[in-house]
Amino acid sequence: MTLISPSQDSLGDREIFAVESLFRTHRNACLVIVSNSMDSEPGRRLLKRFADRNFHIAAVKPNFAAAFRGTPAEIWFRELKSGRVRPGDVSLAQNLSNLLRLALLYKFGGIYLDTDVVVLRSFAGLRNAIGAQTVDLETGKWSRLNNAVLVFDRNHPLVVVERVEGNSGYNFTVLPPPAFYPVDWSRISGLFQGPRDRIQSSWVRRKLERIKKESFAVHLWNRQSRDVEIEDGSVMNRIMMEYCIFCNSSSS
């Protein structure tokens, strides 16, 4: 499994909890964190407690040239460095992060996760899968995919095609939004809010039951939720109590 840390900072408490949830549900997983900051002495100290419990975990700095070598991205990256191509409207950092996850999956296969994805159950039954973020209410077909969670075999052609839609011969599965994105980014704060009365307590209980029944993981949409406090009794508070490994740590 691979995580890419988008920041120059070390992983925070919530990102560490995401790692805990991964190992809680995949005891024998081998996790590689691709991060400049985590491939350092402070980063190794942060991850040592996982290694001390015999979890397989390592951090490596991203080497884009090596990762792209032998993939369709190699020529693009070479021309980008020489100034012969524009990076596009999306920020260069985001483009490189998106491309890096695809290149690593193409070369090695496995599972990619963003650092704000909390894992709730085993991915063992998933193969060549990506999650839909939204679906068309009229047709029931997916209208937008999200690459925060990717599960693909090595050299799977889908990770290098220009368009997913219409490519039905590539043997892959588009999972419905509840699989990884049970809550839209605009409503994610609701998972962090504790109940104020019996009605809200009932909502929290039913929401948690539904997520645990339908979802493999929960994308926390860190850009929207990183500053939202995790309140006692909230859905996220209950998930953390159940899936933590270092349960005396604070991730609020």
Percent of the chain having pLDDT more than 70? 90
Q: What is the mean pLDDT of residues 225-252?
A: 90
Tokens for 156?
Answer: 């799977």
Is residue 171 predicted with pLDDT exceeding 90? Answer: no
pLDDT, position 172: 87
Q: Kindly state the helix (H) or strand (E) to which residue 145 belongs, with its residue range.
A: strand 142-152
User: What is the percent of the chain where pLDDT is above 90?
Assistant: 70
Residue 217: pLDDT above 90? Answer: yes
Whether 164 has a pLDDT exceeding 70, the answer reads no
**pLDDT of 133 over the 90 cut:** yes
Give 74-134 as a 3 state SS string.
HHHHHHHHHCCCCCCCCCHHHHHHHHHHHHHHHHHCEEEEECCEEECCCCCCCCCEEEEEE
Do the domain assignments include residue 40? yes
Instruction: Answer yes or no: is 188 within a domain.
Output: no
- The pLDDT value recorded for residue 180 is 98
Q: Is the pLDDT of residue 59 over 50?
A: yes
> Of the given ranges (79-83, 151-155, 185-189, 219-223), which has the lowest mean pLDDT?
79-83
pLDDT at residue 185 greater than cutoff 90: yes
Place of tokens 């419905």: 176
In a domain, 236, yes or no: no
Contact 126, 150 (CB under 8 A): no
**Angstrom distance (rounded) from CA 235 to CA 229:** 12
The parent domain of residue 72 ranges over 2-178
Residue 156 confidence (pLDDT)? 86
Residue 105 lies in a domain: yes
Query: Which tens digits make up the pLDDT trace of 14-50?
Result: 999 999 999 999 999 999 999 999 999 999 999 999 9
Three-class secondary structure of residue 149 per DSSP: strand
Domain assignment present for residue 195? The answer is: no
The pLDDT of residue 140: 86
Crossing angle for the helix pair 198-214 and 235-243, to the nearest 10 degrees = 50
| Distance separating alpha carbons of residues 24 and 60, to the nearest angstrom | 22
Whether 230 is in a domain gets the answer no
Cα angle value 30/94/235 (rounded, 5°) = 60
Provide the number of structural domains found in the chain.
1
Read off the pLDDT band of 83 (50, 70, 90): confident
Give the confidence band of 1 by pLDDT, cuts at 50, 70, 90.
confident
Q: How confident is the model at residue 250 (pLDDT cuts 50, 70, 90)?
A: low
pLDDT-based confidence at residue 3 (cuts at 50, 70, 90) = confident
Q: What mean pLDDT, rounded, does the chain reach?
A: 90
Q: Distance between the two ends of the chain, CA-based, in angstroms?
A: 26
